[in-house]
């Protein structure tokens, strides 16, 4: 045991009237909602990178967090693992997620880096066996190191492409060894700053080949989880190839991967793309590629990805409504890809940020489930499109449609979309 969280008690459910800040008011893990326990609906995961690896820097200032494991060596990595699992226990978090670079220091060679990852993987395996905590997904950091400044899969240097491919292999191996339920590929620098030095067609083809090889390797090693792509329109590059769900789907169709790869959708990235979170989820479910979510918002005053913990029950409700309507998560879950503000220095801040976010998500999911059970929103939607029930108009040719319209004296008129009434309806549940 470490003493990092010595002043933080284990978080338990005390109900909505509770005044204890170290308690859940809405998240009762065992509470049954729509035939399933809340913990099984939500499948909460803690992001290793923001919670334990981020030093609190930004483009205008350096490190603000002073953590005892920020030593840059394997002793620090082992201590970080100890602290992480203590936090999972305090929160009752059933899952976590990690990149290779989050959990081990960079080695002098690729082999040394991989051996360090294997050591931490063994440590994780023992802790997971002892605690029951599971891995929602693993991934590789192919964007932080300077070697990836011009991309990984899309890099103009084939040696860097090779390094990236080897890194993904080692991370997929670690994910398999830990029983991970998904593997995520985020194209952090798979994009471009300017077309003046970019062969867009070539880079896109490289990205497609890279993903095809990842899928092939998944099947080779017998990994049963989902491969997920995480869309983002910009940051860190000016233009990212995985802009949004629609763009990713077009990419998957081009390379014959639409039945092999799903999406991990982040609220903050959806906002950057000019969409709502629920839009991206609804589109992914409609296209059959929905996998998992990162539940972190952006500050609407800022034009960049601020990775803040969720605090808006209405936004969260609308997101979970789309997820529940589509049948809920399978291998996916709710990952808090969220980071503290640079001024939030206390260990308790890290605990309470997650506890509050878990509460907001539980509140939102219960509201979404109540809306679905009530059925008012779906009834209104069905009524709006009722004219198409049993109507074969879309299958008919324009000539026959024209003849019918030309011979009619009827003048079709619009019907109200009733948006405000539906917004009022949602407010009854949130």
Kindly list the catalytic residues: 99, 102
Query: CA separation (Å) from 392 to 302, 387, 388, 389?
Result: 47, 11, 8, 9
Token duo for residue 381: 């939607």
Residue owning tokens 């969720």: 310
User: CA 325 to CA 335: how far, in whole Å?
Assistant: 20
Which among 44, 68, 64 has a CA at the least distance from the CA of 54?
64
Q: Is 411 helix (H, G, I), strand (E, B) or coil?
A: coil
In DSSP notation, 6-54 reads TT-PPPEE--TT---SSEESS--TT-EETTEEHHHHH-EEEEHIIIII-
Which among 96, 103, 80 has a CA at the least distance from the CA of 2?
80
List all residues 6 or more positions away from 298 whose beta carbon is below 8 Å from its beta carbon: 267, 268, 271, 272, 304, 305, 306, 307, 308
Sign of CA pseudo-dihedral 102, 107, 113, 117? negative
List all residues 6 or more positions away from 335 whose beta carbon is below 8 Å from its beta carbon: 44, 45, 46, 47, 95, 97, 136, 137, 264, 292, 293, 294, 295
Q: Backbone phi, then psi, for 111, in 5-degree steps?
A: -60, -40
Query: CA separation (Å) from 211 to 87, 167, 174, 182?
Result: 34, 13, 18, 15
Across-strand partners of 96?
Answer: 46, 135
Burial 384-401 (b: 16+ CB within 10 A, else e): eeeeeeeeeeeeeeeeee
Sign of CA pseudo-dihedral 11, 12, 13, 19? negative
Q: Is 413 helix (H, G, I), strand (E, B) or coil?
A: coil
């Amino acid at each position: 045991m470490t003493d990092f969280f010595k002043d933080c008690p284990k978080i338990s459910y005390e109900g909505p009237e509770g005044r204890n800040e170290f308690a859940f008011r809405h998240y009762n893990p065992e509470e049954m909602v729509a035939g399933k326990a809340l913990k099984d609906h939500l499948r909460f995961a803690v992001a290793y990178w923001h919670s334990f690896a981020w030093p609190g820097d930004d483009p205008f200032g350096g490190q603000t967090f002073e953590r005892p494991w920020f030593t840059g060596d394997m002793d620090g990595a082992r201590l970080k693992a100890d602290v992480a699992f203590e936090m999972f226990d305090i929160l009752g978090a059933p899952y976590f997620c990690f990149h290779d670079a989050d959990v081990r220091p960079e080695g002098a060679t690729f082999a040394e880096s991989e051996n360090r990852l294997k050591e931490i993987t063994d440590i994780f395996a023992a802790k997971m066996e002892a605690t029951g905590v599971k891995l929602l997904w693993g991934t590789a950091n192919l964007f932080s190191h300077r070697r990836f400044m011009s991309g990984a899969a899309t890099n103009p240097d084939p040696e860097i492409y090779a390094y990236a491919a080897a890194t993904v292999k080692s991370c997929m191996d670690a994910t398999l060894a830990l029983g991970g339920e998904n593997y995520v590929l985020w194209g952090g620098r798979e994009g471009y700053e300017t077309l003046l030095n970019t062969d867009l067609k070539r880079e896109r083809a490289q990205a497609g080949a890279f993903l095809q090889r990842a899928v092939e390797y998944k099947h080779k090693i017998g990994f049963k989880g989902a491969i997920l792509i995480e869309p983002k329109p910009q940051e860190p590059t000016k233009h990212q190839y995985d802009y949004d769900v629609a763009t990713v789907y077009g990419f998957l169709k081009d390379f014959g991967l639409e039945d092999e790869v799903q999406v991990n959708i982040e609220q903050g990235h959806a906002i950057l793309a000019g969409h709502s979170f629920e839009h991206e989820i609804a589109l992914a479910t409609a296209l059959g590629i929905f996998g998992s979510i990162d539940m972190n918002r952006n500050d609407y005053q800022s034009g960049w990805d601020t990775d803040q913990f969720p605090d808006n029950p209405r936004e969260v409700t609308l997101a979970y409504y789309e997820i529940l309507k589509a049948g809920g998560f399978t291998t996916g879950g709710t990952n808090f890809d969220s980071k503290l503000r640079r001024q939030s220095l206390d260990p308790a801040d890290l605990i309470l940020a997650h506890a509050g976010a878990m509460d907001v998500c539980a509140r939102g999911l219960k509201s979404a489930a109540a809306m679905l059970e009530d059925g008012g929103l779906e009834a209104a939607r069905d009524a709006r499109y009722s004219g198409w029930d049993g109507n074969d108009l879309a299958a008919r040719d324009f000539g026959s449609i024209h003849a019918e319209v030309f011979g009619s004296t009827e003048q079709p008129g619009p019907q109200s979309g009733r948006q405000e009434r539906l917004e009022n309806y949602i407010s009854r549940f949130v």
